[in-house]
Structures are given as structure tokens and as C-alpha cells.
């Protein structure tokens, strides 16, 4: 899938490649980290690639958070014993690490869209979740963008 997204992005005119990266990064499990890599490997300026990936990921995450907030307002917060085992695990992580910990580390397990939606559904502050998720998305996007640049440079040096 990542290779198809790279081909799609690289096939766009140079001025529109950032749109391809934004669209790719809006997809759960691609996110800002793989979106940054897609852009760098497609030959984009790394700063533009990371920025486009972050914007795409943040846009989709905010959409999910606002939807979860509306749903929570209508239904209320579910009791823990009515949650699926996966959601119970996420709830325990929230209780243990708080919104900052789950936001910063949660992307190693689940996409930001799923994590942020669940945090809001559990009763966490919508503004707090958005703030910490944006920070997390930026950090992960920059980290993977730097790694992609180093990898591309390494491949070019060995060729």
C-alpha cells in the first residue's frame, strides 16, 4: 500500500505532490510518519513533505475528535465494563499515562484517529486531546521525515 501511495504521489505534477502526501497522511496507519516518508522518497523537499503529512494527519484526526465529541454529548461516557477488551486496554492506558502519554506513545500501537476518538469518548477534554495529538503528529512526522532523508542520502551515497 505504501508503495502504491508513493507511486501515486510521484506521478502527480510537482506542484500537486503535497496534496498527494496530505491525502495519504489522512489515512489511518499511514499518518504523518509514513506520509513524510512517502513525500521524501517521491523527491519532495523534506520540509514540504513533513508539513503536508502533518496537515493531512491533523485534519483527519480533528474530524474524528469532533465527531467523537458530538457522539459523547449524545450518548454519554460508557462504563468500563461495557467496553471491548481492546477499548478496556486503551482506557487503562489513559488512566495510567493520561492524555499526554497516550497521545505521544499511542501511535506506536494505534493510529491517531482511533486513539484520539477513543480518548474523547472516554471523557477526555476535546481541546486537550487535539493539542496533544497535534504535538504527537508533528513529532512523529518530523522524526520519520529525518529518517527518510538520512535513508535516501545513504542510498544515494552508496550508488
The pLDDT confidence band at residue 2, using thresholds 50, 70 and 90, is low
Percent of the chain with pLDDT over 90: 60
Q: Is the pLDDT of residue 4 over 90?
A: no
pLDDT at 1: 63
Kindly report, residue by residue over 68-90, the tens digit of the pLDDT.
Answer: 999 989 988 767 677 788 788 88
**DSSP designation for 123:** T
Q: Is the pLDDT of residue 159 over 70?
A: no
Alpha-carbon span 138 to 135, nearest angstrom = 5
Kindly state the cell numbers that stand for 71.
Answer: 457522539
Segment 45-53 mean pLDDT: 97
Q: What is the mean pLDDT of the chain?
A: 89
Alpha-carbon span 11 to 86, nearest angstrom = 39
More confident residue, 66 or 11: 66
Segment 49-78 mean pLDDT: 94
Q: Is the pLDDT of residue 21 over 80?
A: yes
Q: What is the full DSSP assignment across 6-51?
A: HHHHHTS-GGGHHHHHHHHHTSTTTHHHHHHHHHHHTT--HHHHHH
pLDDT at 76: 80
* Burial annotation 93-115 (CB, 10 A radius, 16+ → b, else e): bbeeeebeebbbebbeebbbbbb
Q: Is the pLDDT of residue 136 over 70?
A: yes
Instruction: Report which of 111, 120, 113 is spatially closest to residue 68, judged by C-alpha positions.
Output: 120
Query: What's the chain's length in residues?
Result: 159
Count CB neighbours of 123 within 10 A. Answer: 12
Q: Is the pLDDT of residue 95 over 70?
A: yes
Amino acid at each position: 500500500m505504501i508503495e502504491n501511495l508513493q507511486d501515486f504521489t510521484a506521478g502527480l505534477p510537482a506542484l500537486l505532490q503535497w496534496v498527494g502526501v496530505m491525502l495519504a497522511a489522512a489515512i489511518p496507519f499511514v499518518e504523518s510518519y509514513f506520509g513524510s516518508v512517502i513525500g521524501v522518497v517521491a523527491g519532495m523537499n523534506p520540509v514540504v513533505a513533513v508539513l503536508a503529512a502533518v496537515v493531512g494527519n491533523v485534519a483527519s484526526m480533528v474530524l474524528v475528535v469532533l465527531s467523537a465529541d458530538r457522539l459523547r454529548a449524545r450518548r454519554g461516557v460508557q462504563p468500563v465494563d461495557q467496553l471491548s477488551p481492546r477499548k478496556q486496554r486503551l482506557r487503562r492506558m489513559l488512566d495510567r499515562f493520561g492524555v499526554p502519554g497516550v497521545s505521544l506513545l499511542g501511535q506506536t500501537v494505534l493510529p491517531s484517529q482511533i486513539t484520539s476518538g477513543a480518548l474523547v469518548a472516554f471523557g477526555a477534554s476535546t481541546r486537550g486531546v487535539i493539542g496533544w495529538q497535534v504535538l504527537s503528529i508533528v513529532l512523529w512526522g518530523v522524526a520519520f521525515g529525518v529518517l527518510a532523508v538520512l535513508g535516501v542520502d545513504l542510498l544515494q551515497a552508496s550508488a
